[in-house]
Structure 1
């Protein structure tokens, strides 16, 4: 009897030791002197992923997932998301530290599905000098001289969109309309590709699979998205090869503001591969149109609920309109006069950032705030971590465009990211927003049908019902 009792005690001690070891292992305590951030790693692989997704689906990631953990653990805490040990950081100092140390301490780390669908040879995945080189080709088109040529093209695209989709209507779905318009701007003004029926739907099918499970079987979202991407690649290859043939014959090289021209010049010189050209074209379409259309929708939402701001914005645009001759388009200089409009846009982007943040991966052991972030762990920064911080934005829940009359501390306002990976299409998005709002407010009276429409994630934030509005022409 004593032997059996002793055996049971010994076995229990072994089980307790094993459980204790596994718990410490799961929570990152590897027995060395590294001080890991506080937090809960949760279950093996799953971790806290379900709670993360639940909060994200409601567009309440910061309020429901991050903020409660900051209250318990502080602005640096560990968790486990999608199989990876992850450290979530918040605040200006964290943004500055991790975003400015891209390629030195961390690198971009997107889910495998996103990499495959956006393009593993795009700047999203490039690091160091290769990233700098390819990004330079893109930003050259968006330099001041390039933007000068882009503005009239954007004006033409916006006017054509309103004529085709708004004229004769008394109600439209603003988010869908903005999405069609921003897609046309990227395709026609930047890539020189005429938009044909079904083209936007093809890109939308790809986006649906970006953050879904990597199940490459018929009927699953990733499989459908991958199939749609193959159609896009085939279409873009035809464009690129035709354009390259024209340029090698000395035709079409003088097309101003065309990114495709710039990329093919690099292709001809051997500075970039054909696959890189295609992947960066695909990435730019997604980066430039979905986030911009959401920004336009949220700006209009804020204007509709703040009539004084709308009055000031309208006065700014009427003054610009009255300075133009009949039929004369806007210029880059005109957009620089839209100071209050851009304040409204930035305040809307502060309150409703198009992306919640982004993941990075530690490429070395990182010492931060007295903690060690082990090599290979993920780091998640969020825009909400500073956008709603009262230390940088007084009364952060209130809409106050005038707060942007004064300089904002670096890395406090980051709707487009920051550091070496700051959004390459930032200036294009700005122009698109300003030009669209100009024609919208000077040519139409409008009002929201559902002022308090919920925001959901699909996979980026979208108005649940597409933001329907009533419209009537002003003349």
Structure 2
């Protein structure tokens, strides 16, 4: 028996030892290759950018988030590393080796090569809460299909018919919450009020999307659910009672339940009309009707409709509201700019034949200086600091190699706050936008195939909101030096309270 065991052991060693040695050699070579990529220690021509990887797994994540929370990502994290390593450098964030790129050429290269060299790469918590079936996660033909469904409603032609409706939604809210009467937004007996500007802008943007694009009531309860979800978007993926992600998941489930009912009711109404009047009976001008129309045709699924609605509300209402808040902050700190802006809006209002007559798209197009002010405010305080991509192949850029699978982070700060692109970049100067800005220098709304599909909607919301506030109210900041913090997106730490009083003429 012992001899049999020895014989069997000898046979196994002869048979398996070569395979075992091969596996060990491959593992060693793989590890050496990984270390070569990370530390450039063997003199190979294919080297990654310089930089520091920090602690094991954690990398420089703690420093990154500290800078982010203080709204000093550029000043405290990016700028010192650019000075030390150059505009292209490596780090490690959230367990992933990451290349941070800066400058217009970097923006052009990575944003225009979406789907070819890189793909969008969001944290798992973001994907689960925003929707893994939304356009954010789609690539290639599926991305183009969904974009083609959304784009007609969100471009100038589609939004033109919505201008009066957007005016009515905003005016009704101001009338109810800021004081006024049916002929003009005036009164409260001349008394001053303190209004939370940031939350007002958030809820109004949410209300515009729900009522003007999605044909649904903008309930306060639903709005609060979206706020809860946002708190978990960049939270650790820990689905345990009491955690931010757990609370966000529960809120997301409530939102989904509401939206599924909205989508199914819309589908039922559209199919009934099609049976009664034919395929051309339904007006596909609203975003919801276009999405449901695509659902009926079998182009997309119900889950894709719901996820894209969720993403649209998130992408629009939170970023647009911050842009509105920063526009008013910059105007408060720059009285001369406010005088020029106010004159532009008073001229538009003076051309109206009736009191409280709604704006038209032509009026909105005349707000050229206001849009310069808004763009300059967003340049200095972008609602989204940048975005992560993932390399789908080895990439040659700036004399370096970015290995397949590594993350790439481009930031708006890399051009917005650079002396190379904007003279005296920290100074507020709307006149910078009197002339066209070179492509991929101003990237507040992204670029390439993933350029923000709601860009024109955001512009419309900002301009109409500014017009109605500055023409009917005197206003001032309660806390002119209120800090901006991040959690996870930037916001005024005290909600940006403003003091308002109605104009008497």
TM-score range, shorter chain: over 0.9
1:228 aligned to 2:251? yes
Q: Cα deviations across residues 200-256 of structure 1 (Å, max 9, x unaligned)?
A: 101000000000000011110001101110100000000000000000011796556
Which one of 38, 47, 66 corresponds to residue 27 of structure 1? Answer: 38
CA positional deviation for 1:407: 1.1
Tell me if the contact between 1:85 and 1:377 (Cα under 8 Å) persists in the aligned partners.
yes
* Structure-1 residue corresponding to 2:405: 376
1:349 aligned to 2:378? yes
5 Å matches for 1:307-386? 307-326=335-354, 327-386=356-415
5 Å matches for 1:380-419? 380-419=409-448
1:215 aligned to 2:238? yes
1:280 aligned to 2:283? no
Tell me if the contact between 2:385 and 2:413 (Cα under 8 Å) persists in the aligned partners.
yes
Inter-partner Cα distance in structure 2 for 1:139 and 1:218: 39
Q: Cα deviations across residues 371-397 of structure 1 (Å, max 9, x unaligned)?
A: 000000000000011001122211111
Which shows bigger deviation, 168-177 or 206-215? 168-177
Tell me if the contact between 1:41 and 1:48 (Cα under 8 Å) persists in the aligned partners.
yes
Inter-partner Cα distance in structure 1 for 2:176 and 2:489: 27
The two structures, once aligned, show a CA RMSD in angstroms of 1.9
* Structure-2 residue corresponding to 1:237: 260
Q: Cα deviations across residues 280-319 of structure 1 (Å, max 9, x unaligned)?
A: 0000000000000000000000001111110110111111
* Structure-1 residue corresponding to 2:10: none
- Taking structure 1 as reference, are residues 384 and 180 closer, same or farther at Cα in structure 2, changes over 3 Å only? same
* Structure-2 residue corresponding to 1:14: none
Partner SS, residue 407 of structure 1: coil
- Taking structure 1 as reference, are residues 366 and 328 closer, same or farther at Cα in structure 2, changes over 3 Å only? same
Partner SS, residue 162 of structure 2: helix
Tell me if the contact between 2:156 and 2:456 (Cα under 8 Å) persists in the aligned partners.
no
Inter-partner Cα distance in structure 2 for 1:268 and 1:196: 27
Inter-partner Cα distance in structure 2 for 1:37 and 1:396: 27
CA positional deviation for 1:145: 2.5
Tell me if the contact between 1:150 and 1:257 (Cα under 8 Å) persists in the aligned partners.
no
Which one of 150, 170, 173 corresponds to residue 138 of structure 1? Answer: 150
Tell me if the contact between 2:346 and 2:471 (Cα under 8 Å) persists in the aligned partners.
yes
1:196 aligned to 2:219? yes
Inter-partner Cα distance in structure 2 for 1:313 and 1:47: 46
Partner SS, residue 250 of structure 1: helix
Q: Cα deviations across residues 104-137 of structure 1 (Å, max 9, x unaligned)?
A: 0000000000000000000000001110110111
Tell me if the contact between 2:125 and 2:233 (Cα under 8 Å) persists in the aligned partners.
yes
Structure 2 residue runs of 5 or longer lacking an equivalent are 1-27, 180-187, 275-279
CA positional deviation for 1:26: 8.3
TM-score, normalised via structure 2 length? 0.88
Partner SS, residue 469 of structure 1: strand
Inter-partner Cα distance in structure 2 for 1:473 and 1:256: 40
CA positional deviation for 1:195: 1.2
CA positional deviation for 1:33: 4.1
Q: Which has the larger radius of gyration?
A: 2
Q: Cα deviations across residues 47-94 of structure 1 (Å, max 9, x unaligned)?
A: 100000100010101110011011110000011100101000000000
Structure 1 residue runs of 5 or longer lacking an equivalent are 1-16
Partner SS, residue 136 of structure 2: coil
Partner SS, residue 89 of structure 2: strand
* Structure-2 residue corresponding to 1:452: 481
Which one of 330, 334, 338 corresponds to residue 302 of structure 1? Answer: 330
5 Å matches for 1:7-46? 24=35, 27-29=38-40, 33-46=45-58
Inter-partner Cα distance in structure 1 for 2:153 and 2:220: 27
Inter-partner Cα distance in structure 2 for 1:253 and 1:42: 61
Inter-partner Cα distance in structure 2 for 1:83 and 1:221: 20
Which shows bigger deviation, 379-388 or 25-34? 25-34
How many residue pairs get matched? 458
Inter-partner Cα distance in structure 2 for 1:454 and 1:253: 52
* Structure-1 residue corresponding to 2:499: 470
